[in-house]
Amino acid sequence: MARLLVLRSAPYHRSTLSAAALLSPSKLRHSASFPHPARRLLRAIDSSSSSGATKQDAAEAQEPLPAAPAFVVEDLGWGTQLAVKLKMLVAPPWQRVRKGSVLTMKLRGEVTDQLKTRFSSGLSLPQICENFEKAAYDPRISGIYLHIEPLSCGWGKVEEIRRHIVDFKKSGKFIVGYMPVGGEKEYYLASACAELYAPPSAYVALYGLTIQQTFLRGVLEKVGVQPEVQRIGRYKSAGDQLARRSMSNEVREMLAALLDNIYGNWLDTVSSKHGKKKEETEEFINSGVYQVERLKEEGWITDLLYDDEVMTMLKERVGQNDKKSLRMVDYSKYSRVRKSTLGIEGGGDRIAVIRASGSITRTRGRLSVGSSGIVAEQFIEKIRTVRESEKYKAVILRIDSPGGDALASDLMWREIRLLADSKPVIASMSDVAASGGYYMAMAAPVIVAEKLTLTGSIGVVTGKFILQKLYERIDFNKEILSKGRYAELNVADNRPLRPDEAELFEKSAQNAYASFRDKAAMSRSMSIDEMETVAQGRVWSGQDAASRGLVDSLGGFSQALAIAKQRANIPQDKKVQLVEISRASPSLPEILSGIGGSLLGIDRVVKGVLQDVTSLNGVQARMDGILFERLENASGESQLFVLIKEIVNYFD
């Protein structure tokens, strides 16, 4: 799905990433077959490492990366316009749109980075963004009416949608927002609209941002459960809910920095939109905004109107006063309109898009829902298919994952490195690409992230439950016969670990961490010591990761596309065909899941339990799931189910 139509000559920017020394030969044993001539495109080549790089390497390493908008609207030639009119006349009924229609999209709930099928519930970020671009060109669409309500997605996706709203306004068509319920995230998105309305009875809560962590150690002890957790990395918070009673100083420092980034960006963006000083905006928030009338009186929204009043206003604007109702087309139907019908389809060179969203597992479990996670064996098949094909000039690897199985992450890292040997590979991060998600991304020569993408978390966690006291309390007995000194290490939950078992348990986790860290250093052309300073399980925002050498460029999918064109020697103003590898197809579990979610309102966390309960074991390279949910403000979920899911995920 192409989100970028034609790019004009865009300004270039240079990163402030520091120079990196090459690893010593002893540390390159894993990389002999992985030459990366464009290693770290923006990073200056340190004179101390010049002996290990060619002149071509140095020249390419200093080449700037293009900055790209979400999309650019340009006039279509008269021939194309005529062809578009003919295509609209013969379009099938499900792709027909009446002239003068207003595109309505309700942005609320979960937003996935995957393409959706007709049986899938929720919203798809690629389809939302494509609808903005299509509507900008579609002569049948007069404007867009956005309903914005509480969102269950991260700031990365919100930033991507906001960027498309801003670029859509350049088409000259109107875009009107309506926010009946909202907090900081919803207002951040809605404020990008040219006009923003709310009903007089709207629920607004602009109080500021929070991050929470919950701790179960005391609860578990009361029921006789003793968690044995090995978290490698001072900032690695995964497992803290089970092993600790309170937040560690390191995790507190990390979360405070993330909160500062998110809050600072919110203040900067909203202040800029309204032409106010940052201090004025912060003072407004600190006053505790719950009265929607204040938003109108102080110029934060356009007016207080009910939905029917907004639609009556839009009827007058598009000249439909004589109509009984406003002529509209909704998100679902408009998603079926093809870009080719509007004359803006890509052509010529092909760029493959491989999407990787959700938790990482090595194989698919029996209860897994289709396209609900990253299954290494299936992902590797896609990578190999693209690598062996000569049809694709470059690859965009789109990642939205908090991590998962460490072995699966490593196997995919290897395949992505092999792919990058054959053609340019650009990793584009969405809400989160942390731990195992970053493991995948670091295999690409170029990494692009949003300013508030959650990334890094280079660390591992493993653990088990000791249930001896629980067994005694319920009069349950378990006996194990074994051969081998450590045979019972992973199966004996009826007794504490022996000292030698505990030592081996820790060494195993340390070994997994060292492997992850060393490969991250090699992938990012850093020394081990340099990588250690930014690893230790710490989660970074995209902008902080960029300043520390973990990310190359800030931006969304269109930025990754512009860089992919550059690396593949494709002119920026040339259209390309984006090919989604293995587009989502509905499996029976997905169909049932989608129907169940629609009819019964099944909590998505419950579905998560079904997909994860049989799949996760061993060492995990994952970001703290509860931390992730808190950062994304998933306030509507049952906290009990969240906790159950996390316990199952870590120690199944």
Annotated catalytic residues are 236, 435
- As given in the structure block, the two tokens for residue 453 are 């993408």
Residue 401 identity: S
Rounded to 5°, the CA angle 287-293-295 comes to 60
Residue 484 Cα distances to 417, 480, 546, angstroms: 38, 12, 48
Dist CA 45 CA 25 (whole Å): 18
Number of H helices, E strands in the chain: 24, 25
Q: Which of 202, 439, 174 is nearest to 307 (CA)?
A: 202
- As given in the structure block, the two tokens for residue 288 are 């505790």
Residue 455 identity: T
Instruction: Name 64's Cβ contacts closer than 8 Å, sequence gap at least 6.
Output: 12, 13, 14, 42
Helices (H), 170-306: 184-190, 217-222, 240-243, 249-274, 278-286, 292-297
CB 629 within 8 A of CB 227: no
- CA of residue 491 relative to chain centroid, distance: 36
- As given in the structure block, the two tokens for residue 82 are 């005529």
Q: Which of 463, 40, 436, 449 is nearest to 226 (CA)?
A: 463
Q: Position of tokens 């709207």? A: 202
Q: Is 194 exposed, middle or buried (0-12, 13-18, 19+ CB in 10 A)?
A: middle
CB 263 within 8 A of CB 208: yes
- DSSP-derived letter for residue 445 is S
